[in-house]
Amino acid sequence: MSQVARTTVDRETGVKVLASFAAASVLLYFFGAVIGWGEIIATLRKAKLEWLVVACLSSTLCLVIWAKSWDVIFGAVDVDIPLSALVPTYFAGTFADYVTPFGKAGGGPFIAYILSTDGRVSYQESLAGVVIADLLNMLPFFTFAGFGFVALFVQGSVPPRAEPLVGGLALLAFGIPVAVYLGWRHRQVVELLVVGLSRPIAARTSRVDVDSLKDRVDEFYDRLDRIAAHPKELAITLAYSYVGWLFFAAPLFLAGQTIGVHIDPALVLFIVPASTLAGVAPTPGGLGGVEVAIVGLLVALTTVNTATAAAIALVYRVASYWYVLGLSGIAALYEIYTH
């Protein structure tokens, strides 16, 4: 990476990090102020920190396993990138996701760029591999959400006042994969939408070329087709995705253990995907939105009080967000300075 490019990336990354911490300070203050910081802190004082350590380890294993899913995808198209190199790159991409508003908006392009800098893979091929892996990682998300949703209703664990909330979240959980599938099957429609949305921008700036953008969309789908032609590798990737999601969901159960509260695993399988949907809030890593969603769901679906639910949410976010943010931030600095 050139010195100018590195300086630009460093400046942009620094601004994002500072913005995320500033947003976190304000949002978390109001989050606690509404519930009552005194009660939350009193609950946290009883925490068994050994469970928090296990939760952090679970988050680490989750990311390593998902990095392995990338390894399988790239191997399917004869791109030889060692797993030891993919792991820090995946962590760096996670950092980009976690400091970027609207959740997963920032990581994919950043990762594709990093992987393409040493000439082993083109940007378009890299981005296609990343997108395929991310889409496969979403399938367990919806599977677990659906399983948890069904389990809650079968067990009769959903209070009447919470049925609209649970039903709405379930609708999103089933509706989003349908939209992704339609986007895959009707690529001409996607291309028309991309071109149509880009024309007003292209009319105002020379930096956007509609024909070039159309060619890039076609090329991107060609790369996806190339990867999709390897069903065995896709099945293996999906298996890693499911295992990774179990480790991704475990920190909420472990957060409950930290506070001395047992959370039904079926409930965990619903709450984690449901609260993750709040991660698309216009704050870095969904700060504020995820915490509020977890508290609301725990209070609605269990017998815990608001202060206890807030303590569980904060412990969960320490293991699944703040710890990962710090670890992945180190990986991002490593990737920036070595490429």
Q: How confident is the model at residue 1 (pLDDT cuts 50, 70, 90)?
A: very low
Let me know: does 111 contact 92? Beta carbons within 8 Å. yes
Q: Minimal CA–CA distance to 76: which of 206, 201, 211, 232?
A: 232
User: Is the whole-model pTM more than 0.85?
Assistant: no
pLDDT in tens, 206-259: 665 666 667 666 666 666 666 667 778 788 888 998 999 999 999 999 999 999
Side chain identity, residue 60: T
Residue of 28 and 6 predicted with greater confidence: 28
Nearest to 337 by CA among 64, 78, 114: 114
* Domain count within the chain: 1
pLDDT over 90, % of the chain: 21
In the chain the beta strands, taken as DSSP E runs, fall at none
> Per residue in 156-179, pLDDT tens?
666 666 566 666 666 766 676 677
Distance, CA of 85 to CA of 225 (rounded, Å):
25
- Alpha carbon of 117 to those of 8, 111, 218: distances in Å? 16, 10, 22
* Tokens standing for residue 180: 């992704």
What range does the domain containing 169 cover?
3-338
Give the Å distances, CA to CA, from 143 to 8, 116, 249, 300, 302: 40, 32, 13, 22, 22
Taking the mean position of all CA atoms in its chain, how far away is CA 239?
Answer: 18
Residue 118: partners with Cβ closer than 8 Å, 6 or more residues away: 339
Determine the pLDDT at residue 32: 81
Q: Is pLDDT larger for residue 119 or for residue 289?
A: 289
DSSP letters along 58-113, please?
HHHHHHHHHHHHHHHHHHHTT----HHHHHHHHHHHHHHHHHSSSSTTTHHHHHHH
